[in-house]
Chain A
């Protein structure tokens, strides 16, 4: 088991790091050690740094939005009411839909010509002419973010719902008898108790959002003008369109390092937080 794991995951990662320092390419047939020249190239690669910033932006915005929205949904679905099972199932639907399909769906909803979103915006007089969401360098990335929030919030809500259910009901009753208002109860009892589950869920979400590939690949192909390029799409293009296995691996390694940093910083934060609370 451990051996399989090492073979399937650890070996490829080490091998990628090894490739990162070579000029391996299927086009030029080169394959030798080139020291720091790939790293040097990376430092001056404008598209890479643009993708780097956009990926971090995407990760931060979607994780925050999904955590907040997931919390609202989890708190709502935690209550008992008639038809709760049905509504819980309905909320899970976006999560079950393949990301590729989500991409196509949002492509159609936000289509610049016949998209229903444009129709509604124009009719509610929110805009005076149709907006080309996915063709705009400023709006394409936010549209991708929205698609991601739609698709992934259910899972976040599910994890938070799980966290909520671990809070003993005796605490809820005690607070109610003490006359705590709903808000007080939320801020002083529920949220602190939910914090560990919330932070772990947010960490998982952030690490996943950081790898975003399907949405930009299908919806925009990284365009217009690289405005939706993410680290995964840049690495993929370099590897499979440019056939530069060496430099592509350099990008993948940079991504790996950034992700490890996010995990490390986030992890430390969670640990300190948990320690502080005892």
Chain B
């Protein structure tokens, strides 16, 4: 009772102060949103403006009237950007799918099976993800060269599997550990083997962890530049980041085309993040709560 009356009294005494505080909070929120969205929104606006508007001394704030789709046409027709997108989708989807299978098995083994040295394996997995990529690029280049996998989908995809594994194992491990062991035991009593338990019981239950693991792996490979740059040499197999990094013209920088290309490759990701925002936050949260 006493505890209840205190805030009530305080509220009436300082309602003006509360209003100021509330206003401050709204301003802070607005600042955070503008800071987060403005660069991308500006890119979006620029992608619809004709070149003469982009080079005006006073920027045009909205692409109306006379907005144009010319930059998007340039990107797909003249710059063959569709090919980069296809390459990225093939390499990144295959890498994510295969890595997810390996990571699921590994994380389950580390979380459940009575193996010796599990802690060491887990720390090694995490330590590996800290290596600077540049320090593994030369040997991987030589290995891929010997296997004739340079400038192929399979070569880059294989490297990305290795890249995605540590993070995926970590996220999945956190989720598997959170599942009560009784569920496994119940499945075992019903006659399910280890793999069967993993597939029909553990994975459905830990789906909230599988989604962020897959997304984190996919985003990591979708964004990767250094290895893609090193291991692919022709536009036939280069991915989107390489395409954008090499996006230059002879005389002036084609800002409008670049903006259009940026929008094209970013929108799928932004949509994914907006759809799975809750899952991502939960996934990362669950992983770190238990870790």
List chain A positions with a Cβ less than 8 A from chain B. 1-2, 4-5, 8-13, 15-16, 19, 72-73, 76, 79, 81, 85, 87-102, 104-109, 111, 113-114, 116, 119, 150, 154, 158-159, 161-163, 165-166, 176-177, 179, 197, 207, 210-211, 213-214, 217-218, 231-232, 235-236, 239-240, 245, 248-249, 252-253, 255-256, 259, 263
> B241 and A98: CB pair below 8 A?
yes
> B33 and A162: CB pair below 8 A?
no
> A89 and B274: CB pair below 8 A?
yes
- Number of A-B contacts defined by CB within 8 Å: 226
Query: Which one of A73, A90, A217 contacts B37 once the chains associate, using CB atoms below 8 Å?
Result: A90
For residue B162, CB closer than 8 A to chain A, the reply is yes
> A211 and B105: CB pair below 8 A?
no
Interface string of B53-69 (1 = CB under 8 A from A): 01111110000000000
Query: Which one of B131, B262, B284 contacts A162 once the chains associate, using CB atoms below 8 Å?
Result: B284
Q: Nearest Cβ distance between residue B215 and chain A, in whole angstroms?
A: 9
**4 A-B pairs with least C-beta separation:** A12-B136, A15-B139, A8-B162, A12-B139
Q: Nearest Cβ distance between residue A30 and chain B, in whole angstroms?
A: 15
For residue B137, CB closer than 8 A to chain A, the reply is yes
Q: Nearest Cβ distance between residue A265 and chain B, in whole angstroms?
A: 14
How distant is the Cα of A88 from the Cα of B130 in the complex, in angstroms? 27
How distant is the Cα of A52 from the Cα of B284 in the complex, in angstroms? 32
Q: Nearest Cβ distance between residue B13 and chain A, in whole angstroms?
A: 14
Query: Which one of B36, B39, B288 contacts A163 once the chains associate, using CB atoms below 8 Å?
Result: B288
> B225 and A11: CB pair below 8 A?
no
Known: A73-B32, A90-B36, A232-B226. A177 touches B262 (CB 8 A): no
Binds A, one of B71-79, B181-189, B196-204, B265-273: B265-273
Known: A114-B255, A154-B36. A101 touches B244 (CB 8 A): yes
For residue B194, CB closer than 8 A to chain A, the reply is no
Highest count of chain B CB atoms <10 Å: which of A16, A87, A236, A249: A16
How distant is the Cα of A102 from the Cα of B43 in the complex, in angstroms? 10
How distant is the Cα of A71 from the Cα of B55 in the complex, in angstroms? 38
How distant is the Cα of A207 from the Cα of B135 in the complex, in angstroms? 14
Q: Nearest Cβ distance between residue A127 and chain B, in whole angstroms?
A: 15
How distant is the Cα of A219 from the Cα of B221 in the complex, in angstroms? 21
> B223 and A100: CB pair below 8 A?
yes
Q: Nearest Cβ distance between residue B249 and chain A, in whole angstroms?
A: 13
- Of residues 24 through 40 on chain B, the ones whose CB sits less than 8 Å from some CB of chain A are 25, 28-29, 32-33, 35-37, 39-40
> A94 and B138: CB pair below 8 A?
no
Q: Residue of A at shortest CB range from B110?
A: A1
Known: A5-B124, A100-B225. A162 touches B288 (CB 8 A): yes
> B132 and A256: CB pair below 8 A?
yes
Q: Residue of A at shortest CB range from B143?
A: A12
List chain B positions with a Cβ less than 8 A from chain A. 3, 6-7, 25, 28-29, 32-33, 35-37, 39-40, 42-43, 46, 54-59, 102, 105-106, 109, 121, 124-125, 128, 130-140, 142-143, 162, 165, 219, 222-223, 225-226, 229-230, 240-241, 244-245, 247, 253, 255, 258-259, 261-262, 265-266, 269-270, 272-274, 277-278, 280-281, 284-285, 288-289
**19 A-B Cβ contacts within 8 A?**
A1-B105, A8-B162, A9-B136, A12-B140, A13-B131, A13-B135, A96-B219, A98-B244, A98-B265, A100-B225, A108-B258, A114-B54, A166-B289, A177-B6, A231-B134, A245-B142, A248-B138, A252-B137, A255-B135
How distant is the Cα of A89 from the Cα of B273 in the complex, in angstroms? 7
> A214 and B241: CB pair below 8 A?
yes
Write out the residue numbers on chain A whose beta carbons fall within 8 Å of the beta carbon of B269.
96-98
Highest count of chain A CB atoms <10 Å: which of B32, B142, B143, B162: B32
Q: Nearest Cβ distance between residue B47 and chain A, in whole angstroms?
A: 10
Write out the residue numbers on chain B whose beta carbons fall within 8 Å of the beta carbon of A235.
134
Write out the residue numbers on chain B whose beta carbons fall within 8 Å of the beta carbon of A8.
128, 162, 165
> B280 and A92: CB pair below 8 A?
yes
Q: Residue of B at shortest CB range from A108?
A: B255
Known: A12-B139, A89-B273, A217-B245. A252 touches B124 (CB 8 A): no
> B225 and A214: CB pair below 8 A?
yes
Query: Which one of B43, B253, B277 contacts A92 once the chains associate, using CB atoms below 8 Å?
Result: B277
Known: A13-B136, A88-B277, A96-B273. A256 touches B131 (CB 8 A): yes
> B32 and A76: CB pair below 8 A?
yes
Query: Which one of A19, A105, A158 contacts B43 once the chains associate, using CB atoms below 8 Å?
Result: A105
> A245 and B247: CB pair below 8 A?
no
How distant is the Cα of A189 from the Cα of B133 in the complex, in angstroms? 39
> B284 and A259: CB pair below 8 A?
no
> A89 and B277: CB pair below 8 A?
yes
